[in-house]
Amino acid sequence: MTEATTNPYRSHTVDELWELPTVYRDDALAGRVVLVTGAAGGIGSATSVLCARLGATLVLSGRTVATLDELAGRLRDRGTDVLTVGGSVRDPEQVAAVVDAAWDRFGRLDVVVNNAGGQFSAPALDISPKGWHAVVETNLYGTWFMMQAAARRWAEAGEPAPGEDRCVVNISTIIGRGAAGIAHTAAARGGQINLTRYLAVEWAPLRIRANAIAVGVVASEGLATYPEAARASFGHNPMRRLGDVWDVAQGVVYLAAPSAAFVTGTTLEVTGGEHVWGEYWPLGRPEFFEGKVYP
């Protein structure tokens, strides 16, 4: 058992990720060029490492080039061909530059993993216009900008070779349920998942499969941004535990690999069942919702 399985505020190191067991064969993504946004974070690193282990060529994108280069160096040491490109998903010109850089370097792009995201917990009454814009632009606009930029290049490239469909995997979260503390995220992620479904239809003629992953509460450094009161609901799901970034990474590969060749427009729930039962209170459970005798 590693610290990442016992500390909710820590995910795995690259060395740990390289040794974790996986059900996939070593060449499951051989010959594929995979772009991962937000690549240096917990889920991003896990996804990048797993794709590298399975033979993919990688394009790693994010706002902080130094952390991208550090991850890329660790992967190159293990034989992976990696390109790093800095940029913010909130800027459509920077997004287009990332996609162009992938094509310029490798002459193709096969998989886009829209992992870049960000949020903070706050009562809805206290969210400022700036805070609202930051979260919605990162989680919704960023996904849209990257999907559109990739699809434009795919449209220009014409019909792919047989068996070489294009694939987008959007990292999202549970929707369709109310809570308290992340209204801006709820709005952005709801739009993100519906966008995924819609474009799975409109871009089907381009041989683009578009799917999403709804992520439950997984152990990572990102949880440290929430108050201590949130911790009480970290494992509030049918499996009664936190998830792991590796769970999400393996879900990404399932949707990106031939294993999901007949899957598009869907949302894979990697939530421990929280989408069917459980409560997540980013600011702690409000007293109003504590159990009371009826009436």
Q: How far are the Cα atoms of 219, 266, 280 from residue 245, in angstroms, in the given order?
A: 7, 20, 18
As for how many domains the chain has, the answer is 1
- Give the domain extent around 51: 3-281
Q: In what order do the strands lie in the sheet with 33-37?
A: 82-86, 57-62, 33-37, 111-114, 166-173, 208-215, 267-270
Match 């060749």 to its residue by tokens.
261
d(CA 54, CA 32): 10
The average confidence (pLDDT) of the chain is 95
Q: Is residue 293 part of a domain?
A: no
pLDDT, residue 261, reads 96
Q: What is the pTM of this model?
A: 0.95
* pLDDT of 1 strictly over 50: no
- Main-chain phi, psi angles of 112, to 5 degrees: -120, 125
Q: Distance between CA atoms of 215 and 7, rounded to whole angstroms?
A: 18
Q: Is residue 290 one of the residues assigned to a domain? A: no
CA 111, CA 105: separation in Å to the nearest integer? 15
For 221-244, the pLDDT digits (tens) are 989 989 999 999 999 999 999 999
In-domain check, residue 287: no
Average pLDDT rounded to a whole number, residues 4-26: 91
Q: Does residue 286 belong to any structural domain of this protein? A: no
Phi, psi of 258 (to 5 degrees): -60, -15
What digits encode the pLDDT tens for the residues 26-74? 999 999 999 999 999 999 999 999 999 999 999 999 999 999 999 999 9
Distance, in Å, from the CA atom of 16 to the CA atom of 39, rounded to the nearest integer, reads: 17
- Reported as a single tens digit per residue, the pLDDT across 72-112 is 999 999 999 999 999 999 999 999 999 999 999 999 999 99
Whether residue 295 lies inside any domain: the answer is no
CATH number of the domain residue 85 falls in: 3.40.50.720
Would you give the DSSP letter of residue 270? E
